Amino acid sequence: MHIPDNYLSPQTCAVMAAAMVPVWTISIKKIKKEIPKEKLPLMGVAAAFSFISMMFNVPIPGGTTGHAVGGTLIALLLGPYAACISISVTLLLQALIFGDGGILSFGANCFNMAFVLPFVGYIIATFINKHLKKNKNGLLGATIGSYVGINAAALCAAIEFGIQPMLFQDAAGKAMYCPYGLNISIPAMLGGHLTFFGLAEVVFTVFVLLFVEKVSPNFKAKIGNREKAKTPLPIRILLAALIVLTPIGLLAEGSAWGEWSKDEIAATGVGFTPSGMMSGIHYKALLPDYSIVGLPNWFGYILSAMIGAAVLVILFKLISGVRSHKTASAE
């Protein structure tokens, strides 16, 4: 679901980024009110779980792949606004360091995965959990919410892809960016997410929720207090275990639909490489595709997972420290 650069026109990217500005602004204001500075490091841990979940690529027939995101999971644990910022920071890290998702398309990716997914999933999950009294631990709400949330995000991405050939054509009438219209993009994106990828999102969400409930039964209740954030040891062990297991994601061969390189897209059946892809931005990431030159793929994948998770955890700890310093200065 990570839209690369040059699949969407610069105009589309600008609109999607502009749409996210008020979402980010409101989310930051809500976080300042709802989550004490002492609890901000938990957002880093949540972001790390989302980052790792996206490294477990799931293959489906036809050669394409996909992954979970963990948007509804974070929304149910920390709130949808915290989920929005946590996943946005994760997507920025993926784009800048690992080349997963585009720079120009960052706003579109955030709209789909950091806004639509967690908010839709959260709204549906809380509605179900509120009206079904016998819903033990809220798992039914989490199941349906996470499934609908990731499919809503996939639908948005499909629409963003599909309108490109309608709106942007060269002098010869050929698509300048994504060459596949809505009649192809919607079935292609939803086909995988209604089945395998949606299931992956549900399994990841429910598994982690059950794990957190087991090792820290009062986790949600503690979010609002000002005690120093402490990630329970079992949760840290789970994150470490998932990092070690990330090379499983390398077993899925092929690129996800809509994530082909400019050299690959002509071979997908369209027969040409759109001009916008040829002349667009071509950013070179530090560790492209979660690989490290000179190291075996599996080892580079694990190190990339470690780097990504560590950066996210440290970043939110630093943000917490800055907020604490500002509060102390104001007093």
Q: How far is CA 150 from the centre of its chain?
A: 10
Structure confidence at residue 263 (pLDDT)? 75
Query: Coil, strand, or helix at residue 250?
Result: helix
Structure confidence at residue 140 (pLDDT)? 93
Q: Name every residue whose Cβ is closer than 8 Å to that of residue 127 and which is 6 or more positions away in sequence.
A: 141
* Structure tokens that stand for 10 in this block: 């610069």
Pinpoint the alpha helices (H) of the chain.
10-34, 41-53, 71-78, 80-98, 106-110, 117-131, 139-162, 164-167, 182-192, 198-215, 219-222, 233-245, 275-279, 297-330
Split at pLDDT 50, 70, 90, the class of 38 is confident
pLDDT tens-digit readout, 236-270: 999 999 999 999 999 887 777 788 877 778 777 77
Domain boundaries, the chain: 10-330
Residue 189: pLDDT above 80?
yes
Q: Choose among 133, 138, 2: nearest CA to 69.
A: 2
Query: Coil, strand, or helix at residue 69?
Result: coil
Q: Choose among 277, 147, 142: nearest CA to 210.
A: 142
Q: What is the mean pLDDT of the chain?
A: 91
Residue 17: pLDDT above 90?
yes
The pTM for the full model equals 0.93
Q: Choose among 254, 252, 189: nearest CA to 3.
A: 189
Structure confidence at residue 224 (pLDDT)? 61
Q: Quick one: what percent of the chain has pLDDT higher than 70?
A: 94
pLDDT tens-digit readout, 105-124: 999 999 999 999 999 999 99
Residue 331: pLDDT above 60?
no
Structure confidence at residue 152 (pLDDT)? 97
- Tokens 């079935």 belong to residue: 187
Structure confidence at residue 137 (pLDDT)? 74
Split at pLDDT 50, 70, 90, the class of 177 is very high
Structure confidence at residue 58 (pLDDT)? 85
Q: Choose among 255, 252, 238: nearest CA to 48.
A: 238
* Structure tokens that stand for 176 in this block: 């300048």
- Classify domain 10-330 by CATH number: 1.10.1760.20
DSSP state of 58: E
